[in-house]
Amino acid sequence: MIPHEWPKTESEAVAIQERLRPLVRIEEPPPIRTAAGLDVAYRDEDEIVAAITVLDVTTLSVVDSAVVRGKAEFPYIPGLFAFREAPPLLAALDELSVRPDVLVCDGQGLAHPRRFGLACHLGVLTGLPAIGVGKTAMGSYEPPGEERGEWSPLHLDDEVVGRALRTQSGVKPVFVSVGHRCTLDAACELVLRLTPKYRLPETTRTADHLGRMQP
């Protein structure tokens, strides 16, 4: 059950983030056998296609998926994307027959101005372990070494909020942050398991592909 009503104003949304932020837990996750990739595509300014794929972490094969279309009910405001994207993503999670062990969000977790990005929000609402894997940095960092697996701290307001992680040698890093019920070490280890060939995790790639296939 969602523990809050969806807000109508920016001030209401910020208040919800501030209220839920203390519920984020940083801890070792349980054994992870399946990982869900969550992606949102926009067909026009307000039409949303939320796509989720669930992968077997060992084989990286898709074992379940769901797609939900919806209308964005909240304006486009930096730092408040979850209020546009979380409702259809939660609806898609409800459509799954396989409950994933972790949510891998195409976005941020603690790497957020109020330390409560999409991965934190979805993790707290569902109770599932969650991580954010962003394509762009929310904060500052020194480039990590060029080899796969090397990383450097991601800072925001003089606080370490995640890591710039090199998933493929000589390729731009991704930006990993904790969402809920995970540690940064465990999050980065999982991301490396999910990126055997490409920069982005297979969870993100398959969810993005599923969303793009929708008419």
Q: What is the pLDDT of residue 113?
A: 95
pLDDT of residue 215: 75
Give the 3-state secondary structure of 170-201. Answer: CCCCEEEEEEECCCHHHHHHHHHHCCCCCCCC
Q: What is the pLDDT of residue 33?
A: 98
pLDDT value at residue 101: 98
The per-residue pLDDT for 2 is: 56
Q: Is 106 annotated as a binding residue?
A: yes
Model's pTM, two decimal places? 0.95
Name which CATH class applies to 10-213.
Answer: alpha beta
Residues in the chain predicted with pLDDT less than 70, given as ranges, are 1-3
Q: Is 39 annotated as a binding residue?
A: yes
Residue 109 CA to residue 89 CA, distance in Å, equals 16
